[in-house]
């Protein structure tokens, strides 16, 4: 839906002229100044590194209220979806705007089943990677390599072609991720199994052994399903914006997703849950918590309390709430209710939330504070944490990729810059100045 324009804002420029900027109204009482005419009309650009005040697009997929600590997918609170829906139902919601009909079939289930295998030739690609390569490096390379199998058949102006490409990527990501894990471990690849759900199949492809068939455990699968639903989308974060930017040139979608994987791999984006586990191991016992809190508060010390604070949430991250509950249920189920790291995390959260520094700066647990504990309890190795995040986030990346083709304002992404280098110099210029 196109945002309504009701008012304008006036921009007073240094030369005394006034430029009118339309005000665009979004949902949830959010407003944006439409600066598209600014450069053409005035020669001025807007300077905003990190895009902290720039809406790069319109989107109807995900909304975050950072002050309240709310996260909605297509208007549904994420906790409700994590508690009551499957990952593919949430994928349907993100892509189509609605949950599949209650009691009816989810068309994505069947579509994913028909596309979960990768071309047999792709198995050969894995042999080119070192055995000890990080599984994220392998995932980034192999998802990009899929373009070599499908590029010629793909007409991006045809919606059916775009849908098929999106389904192929959604279906093949868990297969590639599991293959990356097994290659790294020196284990034989496992083909997907059509009888299993999306998440169950992913775990099956990772953990099934020729010597010991994998048996699904509902509590574990549901825990992982919740983790994946909570990570499925988070509006215009770095990796999603990367996918949108790559796609804006009508690039091949497999390459765009590889670009998203590359961005997510950065430690400032997808890697903090690993850091939480390392931090808890370093703290060791509740008696040491005050020492680490003091380090976190000390400006001269680079240490930060990992899993605390967020650019957008200035309240408890709603995903952390759900994951804390998941930790309780899962660890109890596994007979690990007294897990020392979990108890330490609970105590650390309590102490930090009562500390004036954290209260004043509005620093609360974020999604990463408990997710590492859940993944560790599920037997997922540290180097697969971000891979799992990438598989889940692929759904959101594709929802944004699909959305941008229907956007009447869709243009190739091409930011301006504030040039601060040398002005024209060199022989030709000097001559022409004379
Ligand atoms: N521990 C101690 N102090 C902190 C923390 C923390 N975890 N987080 C922020 N602060 C302090 C900052 O030093 C700053 O202090 P100042 O005002 O005196 O300069 C103030 O709180 C505001 O912090 P900013 O860095 O401005 O907040 P920003 O929004 O830029 O950063 C970030 C958010 C990067 C997540 C930060 O909170 C952080 O580094 N947290 C720890 C790492 C982490 O958990 N990352 C995962 C985020 S969730 C995700 O990406 C999926």
Among candidate residues 348, 156, 151, the one with its CA nearest the CA of residue 254: 151
**At 208, is the pLDDT very low, low, confident or very high (cuts 50, 70, 90)?**
very high
264 lines ligand 1 (CB under 6 A): no
Indicate if 317 belongs to the active site.
Answer: no
Q: Which of 115, 269, 328, 333 is catalytic?
A: 269
Task: Provide the pLDDT for residue 434.
Answer: 46
Contacts of 168 (CB under 8 A, 6+ apart): 115, 146, 150
Ligand 1 centroid from CA 45, angstroms: 29
Ligand 1 centroid from CA 408, angstroms: 36
Task: Provide the pLDDT for residue 430.
Answer: 57
251 with 405: CB under 8 angstroms? no
Contacts of 240 (CB under 8 A, 6+ apart): 233, 234, 260, 393, 396, 397, 400
Ligand 1 centroid from CA 310, angstroms: 6
Task: Provide the pLDDT for residue 274.
Answer: 84
Among candidate residues 411, 393, 282, 293, the one with its CA nearest the CA of residue 352: 293
Measured in degrees and rounded to the nearest 5, phi and psi for residue 157 equal -85, -5
272 lines ligand 1 (CB under 6 A): yes
Ligand 1 centroid from CA 309, angstroms: 5
Contacts of 360 (CB under 8 A, 6+ apart): none
Exposed (0-12), middle (13-18) or buried (19+): which is 429, by Cβ within 10 Å? exposed
pLDDT tens digit sequence for 300-322: 999 999 999 998 999 999 999 99
- pLDDT beyond 90 at 241: yes
pLDDT tens digit sequence for 59-79: 999 999 999 999 999 999 999
Among candidate residues 70, 104, 108, the one with its CA nearest the CA of residue 90: 108
pLDDT tens digit sequence for 333-380: 999 989 999 999 999 999 999 999 999 999 999 999 999 999 999 999
Q: Which of 233, 252, 339, 368 is catalytic?
A: 368
CA 251 to centroid of chain Cα atoms: 20
311 lines ligand 1 (CB under 6 A): yes
295 lines ligand 1 (CB under 6 A): no
Length of the chain: 434
């Amino acid at each position: 839906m196109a945002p309504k324009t009701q008012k304008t804002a006036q921009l007073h420029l240094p030369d005394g002229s006034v430029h009118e900027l339309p005000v665009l109204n979004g949902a949830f009482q959010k407003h944006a100044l439409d600066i598209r005419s600014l450069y053409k009309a005035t020669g001025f650009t807007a300077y905003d590194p990190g895009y902290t005040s720039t809406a790069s697009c319109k989107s109807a997929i995900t909304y975050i209220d950072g002050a309240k600590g709310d996260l909605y997918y297509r208007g549904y609170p994420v906790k409700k979806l994590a508690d009551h829906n499957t990952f593919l139902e949430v994928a349907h919601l993100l892509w189509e705007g609605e949950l599949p009909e209650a009691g009816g079939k989810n068309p994505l289930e069947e579509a994913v089943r028909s596309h979960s295998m990768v071309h047999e030739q792709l198995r050969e690609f894995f042999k080119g990677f070192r055995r000890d390569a990080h599984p994220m490096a392998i995932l980034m390379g192999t998802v990009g390599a899929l373009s070599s199998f499908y590029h010629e058949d793909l007409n991006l102006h045809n919606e059916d072609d775009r849908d098929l490409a999106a389904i192929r990527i959604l279906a093949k990501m868990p297969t590639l991720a599991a293959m990356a894990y097994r290659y790294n471990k020196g284990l034989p690849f496992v083909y997907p199994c059509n009888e299993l759900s999306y998440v169950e199949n992913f775990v099956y492809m990772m953990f099934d052994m020729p010597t010991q068939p994998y048996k699904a455990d509902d509590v574990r699968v549901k825990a992982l399903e919740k983790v994946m639903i909570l990570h499925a989308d988070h509006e215009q974060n770095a990796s999603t914006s990367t996918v949108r930017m790559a796609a804006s040139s009508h690039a091949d979608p497999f390459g765009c997703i590889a670009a998203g994987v590359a961005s997510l791999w950065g430690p400032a984006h997808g890697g903090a849950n690993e850091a939480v586990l390392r931090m808890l191991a370093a703290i060791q016992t509740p008696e040491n918590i005050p020492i680490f809190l003091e380090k976190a508060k000390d400006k001269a010390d680079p240490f930060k309390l990992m899993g605390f604070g967020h650019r957008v949430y200035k309240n408890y991250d709603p995903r952390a709430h759900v994951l804390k509950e998941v930790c309780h249920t899962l660890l109890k189920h596994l007979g690990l209710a007294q897990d020392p790291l979990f108890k330490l995390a609970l105590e650390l959260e309590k102490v930090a939330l009562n500390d004036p520094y954290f209260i004043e700066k509005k620093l609360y647990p974020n999604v990463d504070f408990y997710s590492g504990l859940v993944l560790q309890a599920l037997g997922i190795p540290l180097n697969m944490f971000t891979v799992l995040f990438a598989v889940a986030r692929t759904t959101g990346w594709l929802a944004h990729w699909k959305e941008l083709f229907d956007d009447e304002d869709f243009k190739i992404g091409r930011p301006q810059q504030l040039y601060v280098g040398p002005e024209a110099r060199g022989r030709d210029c000097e001559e022409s100045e004379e």
